[in-house]
């Protein structure tokens, strides 16, 4: 008996020791691979470039921190992260940085004229400033006193984000503020949570001590759940990981037409129930039979006990989107998409039956001028890649009239299905046979192994705070991206074959680029 006990102890001790050894080896391998990535990066970038791109630098340090934390957590938990997986993660990140350093993402752009910024800082008079500060510090619970003035250095990240929105993009490719904004969305203390009205499904507006705000959409489905085949697109649940992944995809495609979205674990009690001033919301909290904290809020769909949002037991995942400037400062216009679906079980939309539908769209304002049509086609390419059938409307900033980018909001119904594609989402491209040259060139780049879309997406998503819980997109979703990308490129090639002139299909928005 003693012999078997001591033998048992020997094996347990040996296993423990080899586990610790393995954990150290994993961390060592990971560190070495990250060093390799940094070396590759420093070789790819001139010293001047690397200095001028603090966004990349900051993102690298954030990702190293995130990735090494999750790897060491996984290692201590005894999980089986293989050497190949660690190597793969470092390679994905290296591909992402190589993509963002490519000339196609760094095209020279003329300086933005004053009238092309969405907002301008107006210096308040001393009296105005004094009365606002008194009001803010006296009335608001949990908020910091306002410390900023007209000098940019004093502005919090959310304000810098608002001031960085221009006629053609939501933020710049080398926006130094982005990592700070993302960091605050991920970690800043939540001082208020109220339900956002409008829309069909539950979402909350969260406020931070520096007056920044975010739109929180809680997790409603497991990430690997495929949309039920018998559900219509308009009754599908929204997915928090789709909102997050859409932001990464939009950025990787070089559009930058979405406000930044990150994933966050939120405490249902401390960060919602205890601090909300929304009395209606409070009445919807309950504990489930399993002892988890749940709530359902009030909205026109799925806001009932049967569709409650539940923590485990109180922590819940969700997406946090940076809030756009208030409508009173920057009004937006909502446009009905010409390729909107019928939202009916029996009716078809006109574009589904009329093969010459685009001819009439092309001659109808605002699609008859400027970039509106090719921008709509960009949006349909984005939607096809992530299989989003729910793009009924899009918005623009009213200030910029018709010559401006389309805001890609509301992506919660994307990434619902990976086993099949939905060709009808590409109808605008297929029927109009028109595409921006910059978009086509970036799509081609993303189809090449050194910049493969699935790899750069995996790399980009690994930097999200929720990636340490589980990958934001499962592998079948990532492979679907590559498959769909090939379909988009093929569709454009077919268009080119059908048309006599290249310029009939390609809208050359980058005439100086000869890459």
Ligand X SMILES: Nc1ncnc2c1ncn2[C@@H]1O[C@H](COP(=O)(O)OP(=O)(O)OP(=O)(O)O)[C@@H](O)[C@H]1O
Name 216's bridge partners.
204, 320
Half-sphere exposure of 468 (CA within 13 A, CB side): 19
Q: How far is the CB of 433 from Mn ion (least distance, A)?
A: 29
CB of 358 to Mn ion, least distance (A): 25
Q: What burial letters (b/e) apply to 402-417, b meaning 16+ CB within 10 Å?
A: eebbbbbbbbbbbbbb
Report if residue 336 touches ligand X, rule: CB under 6 A. Answer: no
Pairing of strands 435-436, 293-295: unpaired
Q: Least separation, in Å, of the C-beta of 171 and Mn ion?
A: 23
156 in contact with ligand X (CB under 6 A) = no
Tokens 């680029």 appear where?
513
Residue from 55, 175, 375, 390 carrying the catalytic annotation: 390
215 binds ligand X (CB under 6 A): yes
Binding flags for ligand X, 294-333, as an x/- string (CB under 6 A): ---------------------------x-xx---------
The answer to whether 86 contacts ligand X (rule: CB under 6 A) is no
Binding mask 372-401 toward ligand X (x if CB under 6 A, else -) reads -----------------------x------
Inter-residue contact 399 to 114 (CB < 8 Å):
no
- Least Cα distance to 409 among 170, 197, 235 occurs for 170
Examine residue 199 and tell whether it contacts ligand X (CB under 6 A): yes
Closer of 259 and 318 to ligand X (Cβ): 259
Kindly list the residues in this chain that would bind Mn ion in the complex (CB under 5 A).
410
Whether the Cβ atoms of residue 185 and residue 320 lie closer than 8 Å to each other:
yes
* Least distance between ligand X and beta carbon 438 (Å): 25
Strands of the 213-218 sheet, one edge to the other: 192-195, 204-207, 213-218, 315-322, 261-267
CB-wise, 386 or 478, nearer to ligand X?
386
- Pick 175 or 430: Cβ nearer ligand X: 175
Subset of 251-290 contacting ligand X (CB under 6 A): 259
User: Which residues make Cβ contacts (< 8 Å) with residue 102, sequence separation at least 6?
Assistant: 445, 451
Q: Under the criterion CB under 6 A, does residue 409 sit at the interface with ligand X?
A: yes
Residue 432: name its binding partner from ligand X, Mn ion, none (Cβ under 5 to 8 Å by kind): none
Indicate if 390 belongs to the active site: yes
Please state the three-class secondary structure of 339-368 as a single string.
CCCCCCCCCCCHHHHCCCHHHHHHCCCCCC
156: partner contacted, choices ligand X, Mn ion, none (Cβ within 5-8 A by kind): none
The Cα–Cα gap between 168 and 367 comes to 17
Q: Report how far apart, in Å, the C-alpha atoms of 389 and of each of 198, 244, 285, 396, 436 are.
A: 20, 17, 32, 20, 22
**Distance, CA of 337 to CA of 368 (rounded, Å):** 15
Nearer to ligand X, 30 or 295 (CB): 295
Q: Is 323 annotated as a binding residue?
A: yes
Q: How far is the CB of 138 from ligand X (least distance, A)?
A: 27
- CB 74, min distance to ligand X, A: 32
Q: Residue count at the site for ligand X (CB under 6 A)?
A: 15
Q: Quick one: tokens of 226?
A: 């495929």
Q: Is 147 annotated as a binding residue?
A: no
Closest CA to 207 of 120, 265, 151, 140: 140
Separation between Cα atoms, residue 146 and residue 165, nearest integer Å: 22
- Binding residues, as ranges, are 201, 217, 238, 321-324, 395, 410
- Binding residues for ATP, as ranges, are 201, 217, 238, 321-324, 395, 410
The residue ranges that bind ligand X (CB under 6 A) are: 198-201, 203, 215, 238, 259, 321, 323-324, 395, 409-410, 412
Q: Which residues are catalytic?
A: 390
């Amino acid at each position: 008996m003693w012999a078997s006990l001591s033998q048992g102890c020997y094996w347990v001790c040996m296993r423990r020791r080899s586990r610790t050894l393995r954990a150290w080896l994993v961390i060592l391998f990971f560190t070495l691979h990250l060093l390799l990535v940094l070396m590759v990066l420093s070789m790819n970038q001139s010293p001047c470039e690397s200095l001028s791109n603090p966004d990349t630098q900051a993102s690298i340090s954030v990702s190293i921190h995130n990735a090494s934390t999750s790897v060491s957590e996984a290692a201590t938990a005894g999980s089986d992260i293989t050497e190949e997986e660690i190597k793969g993660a470092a390679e994905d990140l290296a591909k992402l940085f190589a993509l963002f350093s490519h000339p196609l993402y760094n095209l020279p752009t003329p300086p933005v004229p004053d009238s092309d910024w969405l907002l301008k800082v107006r210096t308040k008079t001393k009296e105005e400033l004094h009365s606002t500060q008194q009001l803010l510090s006296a009335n608001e619970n949990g908020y910091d006193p306002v410390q900023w003035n007209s000098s940019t250095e004093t502005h919090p990240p959310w304000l810098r984000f608002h001031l960085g929105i221009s006629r053609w993009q939501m933020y710049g490719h080398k926006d130094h503020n982005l990592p700070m904004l993302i960091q605050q969305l991920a970690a800043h203390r939540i001082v208020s949570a109220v339900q956002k009205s409008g829309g069909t499904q539950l979402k909350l507006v969260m406020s931070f001590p520096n007056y920044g705000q975010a739109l929180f959409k809680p997790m409603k489905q497991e990430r690997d759940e495929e949309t039920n085949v018998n559900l219509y697109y308009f009754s599908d649940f929204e997915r928090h990981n789709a909102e997050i992944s859409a932001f990464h995809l939009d950025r990787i495609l070089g559009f930058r037409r979405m406000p930044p979205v990150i994933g966050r674990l939120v405490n249902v009690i401390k960060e919602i129930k205890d601090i909300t001033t929304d009395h209606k919301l409070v009445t919807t909290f309950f504990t489930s039979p399993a002892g988890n904290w749940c709530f359902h809020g009030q909205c026109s769909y799925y806001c009932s006990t049967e569709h409650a949002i539940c923590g485990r037991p109180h922590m819940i995942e969700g997406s946090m989107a940076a809030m756009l400037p208030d409508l009173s400062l920057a009004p937006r216009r909502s446009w009905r998409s010409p390729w909107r679906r019928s939202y009916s079980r029996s009716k078809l939309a006109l574009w589904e039956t009329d093969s010459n539908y685009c001819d009439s769209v092309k001659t109808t304002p605002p699609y008859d001028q400027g970039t509106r049509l090719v921008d709509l086609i960009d949006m349909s390419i984005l939607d096809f890649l992530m299989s989003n059938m729910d793009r009924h409307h899009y918005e623009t900033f009213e200030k910029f009239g018709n010559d401006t980018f389309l805001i890609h909001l509301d992506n919660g119904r994307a990434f619902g299905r990976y086993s099949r594609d939905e060709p009808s989402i590409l109808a605008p491209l297929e029927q109009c046979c028109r595409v921006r040259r910059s978009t086509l060139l970036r799509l081609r780049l993303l189809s090449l192994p050194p910049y493969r879309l699935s790899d750069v997406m995996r790399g980009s998503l690994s930097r999200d705070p929720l990636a340490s819980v589980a990958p934001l997109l499962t592998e079948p979703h990532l492979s679907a991206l590559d498959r769909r990308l090939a379909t988009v490129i093929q569709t454009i090639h077919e268009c080119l074959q059908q048309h006599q002139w290249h310029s009939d299909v390609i809208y050359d928005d980058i005439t100086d680029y000869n890459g």
